[in-house]
Amino acid sequence: MASAALSSTTPPMLHQIHHSNMDVDKLTNQIFSILENKFLFGYQDHHHSLNNHPLSSPAKVRILSIDAAPSTHALLAAKTLLHFQSILRRKSGNPNAQIADFFDVVTGAGAGGVLAALLFTRGKNGSPMFSADDSLKFMVDNCRQLTHYSPSRLFRRPSKADKVLKKLFGDLTLKDTLKPVLIPCYDLRTGAPFLFSRADALEMEGCDFRMAGVCRATVADRAMELKSTDGTKKILAVGAGGGMSNPTAAAITHVLNNKQEFPLCRGVEDLLVLSLGNYGESHSHSVAPNRAMSSPASFLKIAADGAADMVDQAVSMAFGEWRRTNYVRVQGNGRVGGGEEKRRMLRIVEVDEILGEKNVESILFKGKKMVEFTNMEKVEMFAGEVIKEQERRNNSPFPTVVLKQHSTNIYSISPRRSSSATTLSTLSSY
């Protein structure tokens, strides 16, 4: 997996967060030693807790992760974000608050990557291009076009989706996103996942791609060639639905490695992660077994669902005692049955029903159990944690996030006040 490239130039920071290279190396080794144990065994040893480090801070980096899913099923993530936006506006007292105002990093795969792009790409007035309301409407209106290809061809022809995304994003690139954006695909030239990254784009011209192409690459079920804006980098992309259907771990790795933009983040205790899945388990129980297993698409879906579930289990274990407050997973239980048309498209009313249900949680090596809270209750509680972090930043002299800017490639220290009349220079550095 590609990781974000970091600049060799140290950004201007406050004196309290300066430290030697030796100290950074030692701390990084400590972080990944603890993370490794947490992922495997739910590590709980407080003797080596990073909270005892002199640079530790109550600051939290806020991550939004959206799973890959057939675009027709991305309605669950889109509707969840609409509810989340409504809760944030109510709790913050700001009727114009946007999803991008309350997250520092977004990652999305497949249709989730399209949602991430809609919510975190800069619009003409410097604010996010789409609100959660607009993104839900876009997915409803365009969901079928995003993955409509000729099944008889390995390489796709230009489709309606190309025209829709080109008209929407124009010549906007990864540099025009408001916050760190991570969107994966699979590169057939290298035989490895490729991660489109705002951090990489700001560091190296050959890593900047147009947003329309990025969105097409992450949902593509046929090979498509994509070039960087300067033409020096070429990838042969197919969608992220198989190998990177749940990009949460990629986002966590990006934050923990990126000490320039996230200087105070030491481990999972310094993260707030909202992970949005899709409708849940395979619907093969509603189809005859011989039909369910006869299609390559069925096998791909099983692999994608399994990969997403395993990432969720591992990440959940890694959070250990912070699992309830710092990591929230929203996902359906795969209960939607009925005809083929109904299975292809979750209607809005069904999405609301899923949000009101308790989902089944998979626990690594321990099977499955029903969670304590409904999806909406978890979203409400997580919104409370996000608001607390925003209030802490409003009253703190220390920057939690130091983001690189598009125009000058310099660093901007996060402001301590939010505004409904946000400009590019302020919104991108919360």
Angle of the 132-146 helix axis to the 111-120 helix axis, nearest 10:
140
- Examine residue 2 and state whether it is found in any structural domain, yes or no: no
191: left (phi over 0), alpha (psi -120 to 50) or beta: left
Give the whole-angstrom CA distance, residue 301 versus residue 310: 14
Residue 245 lies in a domain: yes
Cα dist. 89→68, 260, 379 in Å? Answer: 27, 30, 14
Check residue 251 and give its pLDDT. 96
Residue 51 inside a domain? The answer is no
Domain extent at residue 366: 61-149+160-184+241-280+299-334+344-395
pLDDT digits (tens, 9 = 90+) for 165-187: 999 999 999 999 999 999 999 99
| Per-residue pLDDT, 306 | 63
Structural domains of the chain, count: 1
Asked if the structure places residue 256 within a domain, the reply is yes
Per-residue burial over 121-135, b = 16 or more CB atoms within 10 Å of its CB, e = otherwise: bbeeeebbbbbbeeb
User: Could you tell me which residues are beta bridge partners of residue 330?
Assistant: 276
Q: Rounded distance, CA 329 to CA 317, Å?
A: 13
Three-state secondary-structure class, residue 413: strand
Residue 22 resides in a domain: no
Q: What angle do CA 199, 205, 207 make, to 5 degrees?
A: 55
Q: Is 116 helix (H, G, I), strand (E, B) or coil?
A: helix
Find where tokens 């912070």 sit: 322
pLDDT band per the 50, 70, 90 thresholds, residue 304: low
pLDDT band at 214 (very low <50, low <70, confident <90, very high): very high
Residues ≥6 apart with Cβ < 8 Å to 226: 209, 213, 214, 216, 217, 234, 235, 236, 237
Within a domain: 201 = no
Q: Return the DSSP state at 46.
A: G
Angle formed by the axes of helices 211-219 and 160-169, nearest 10°: 150
pLDDT tier at 352, thresholds 50, 70, 90:
confident
Backbone φ and ψ of 122, nearest 5°: -70, 130
Distance CA 119, CA 85 (A): 11
Q: Give residue 312's pLDDT.
A: 84
CATH number of the domain at 136, please: 3.40.1090.10
What's the mean pLDDT when you consider all of the chain?
A: 75
**Does the residue 12 lie in any domain?**
no
The string of pLDDT tens digits covering residues 354-375 is 888 887 776 666 667 777 889 9
Given a cut of 70, whether residue 310 has pLDDT beyond it is yes
CA nearest to 332, candidates 276, 391, 291, 378? 276
pLDDT tens across 395-414, in order?
Answer: 888 888 988 776 544 455 54
Residue spans of alpha helices (H) in 68-210: 75-92, 111-120, 132-146, 160-169, 198-203
Query: Is position 408 within any domain?
Result: no
